[in-house]
Amino acid sequence: MAEQVIVTDGSDSFYTSRLIFQALHDYGDFAAITAFSTSTADAKKMLLSRQARYSGLVDVLKFAEGDLASAMNDATAWVAINADQSTLSQLLSAAQAAGIKRAFIHLSTESCPDDTASLEATLSASSVACTLMRTGTLSKDGSGGGLLVTPLDEPTCDEVPIEDVFRFIAEAMTIPEADGRLFSLCPSTDATQLKQMRMAGCSRREEVEALLKGVIKENADESVDPVKVAEQAEADAKSEEEMKAEREDEIKKLLANAKQRGIETQQRLYEEEKAKAEKRAERLSYFQQNQPDEPEGDEAKDDKGESDGDGDSSGGDKPDDKPKKDGDDDDDDDDDRLALV
């Protein structure tokens, strides 16, 4: 990844064009992507998002302000979004002086002049391999619909999904068929060919190549039947209603399942708490039944007093363990005889 690209926005704000950086990072092959504007702080607010951090865009994203020619010195490619046709010649001169080899210029319908001959002359006079593309209003809604490459001076060009436009630019930057081309990228109501390519497993890059080569065309030969159009519209309306009803049923089922899970959880917690309480009561009863008996206070004191009143440390009732002397046995016998008399 030796290529470096610099991106400019004619509105001097990346609010509407911030997705082009993610597209260049995801589908391009660039070692660095530089965002040039008059305010680096504002550019960072627009571009340093959570998605940029998680996808790794922040690792290759750079910021520059001030002189465009100086900022282009390290870049080999240039992408201009919402370019201003009045300053395009000066920007191309600065890019040529900085050594830019590849440039992709995007113009909106409002900024594209009716006379495109001046644009062709400006691009042909530059040594930079340029591609100039005109689109209608960039829309945030929808993507993956029909697209069509038409001449630059196309009378009308409706709004086109912004994701499709930026994905087209990211792929066309490295497609030879886009070099030196001036064209319009417009939405098409006939997406049959693109759908067939997608069903066949073709990549989005192959779709862009087919668009640039003119392989994909709008089917204008097929006659329009108002009856069929009305029937199709009615069928679409019914299908939308059915889809809405299915979504409502699915939401109801999810809510019912969540409610049932809540009831089951409460029941389980109640049974667990009840079992714990019974176990605690059983343990308490067991300890009370097996607790050793302790003597009452008065009896303990009496026993202690009797023990303390005896002068003999060995106890009053204890027999004398001292050996008897000779003659003691006879005295005892005499005493017994006297007792009998």
Instruction: Give per-residue pLDDT as tens, 252-285.
Output: 888 888 888 889 999 989 999 999 999 988 888 8
Q: How far apart are CA 201 and CA 147, in angstroms?
A: 18
Per-residue pLDDT 10s for the chain (341 aa) are 468 999 999 888 898 899 999 999 998 889 999 999 999 999 999 999 999 999 999 999 999 998 888 999 889 999 999 988 888 888 898 898 888 999 999 988 776 666 677 778 888 888 889 999 989 888 887 777 788 898 887 766 788 889 999 999 999 998 988 988 999 898 888 888 888 888 888 888 999 999 998 888 876 444 445 455 556 666 666 677 788 888 888 888 888 888 888 899 999 899 999 999 999 888 888 888 887 766 555 555 555 555 444 444 444 444 455 555 555 555 566 666 666 75
Which residues, other chains included, contact 264 with Cβ-Cβ below 8 Å and sequence gap of 6+? none
Instruction: Give domain status of residue 295, yes or no.
Output: no
Return d(Cα 150, Cα 9) in angstroms, integer: 24
Q: Which of 147, 159, 231, 235 is nearest to 195 (CA)?
A: 147
Tokens standing for 324? 């008897």
Query: What pLDDT sits at residue 221?
Result: 47
Coil, strand or helix at 159: coil
SS3 152: coil
Contact 91, 69 (CB under 8 A): no
Residue 243: per-residue pLDDT: 81
SS3 for 74?
coil
3-class DSSP assignment, residue 75: coil
Q: Which uninterrupted H or E stretch holds 42? A: helix 40-47
Q: Tell me the two tokens of residue 117.
A: 């001959």
Is 287 a member of any domain?
Answer: no
DSSP assignments along 160-214, one per residue: EEHHHHHHHHHHHTT-GGGTT-EEEEEEES--HHHHHHHHTT--HHHHHHHHHHT
Residue 270 belongs to a domain: no
156: CATH? 3.40.50.720
In terms of Cα–Cα distance, which of 170, 205, 83, 75 is closest to 128?
75
Work out how many domains the chain is built from and give that number: 1
**Which pLDDT score is estimated for 46?**
92
Classify residue 96: in a domain, yes or no. Answer: yes
Using CA atoms, how far residue 34 sits from 50, 61, 151, 193, 260, in Å, is: 18, 6, 31, 36, 54
Tell me, yes or no, whether 241 lies in a domain. Answer: no
pLDDT given at position 301: 52
Cα 163 off chain centre by: 18
Q: Which of 110, 116, 105, 172 is nearest to 136 (CA)?
A: 110
Q: Tell me whether residue 279 is in a domain.
A: no
Domain of 126 in residue numbering reads as: 4-226
- Amino acid sitting at position 297: G
pLDDT at 57: 93
Collapsing DSSP states into helix, strand and coil, what is residue 155? Answer: coil
* 41: in domain: yes
- pLDDT, position 224: 43
Burial class (CB in 10 A: 0-12, 13-18, 19+), 159: middle
Residue 306: inside a domain? no
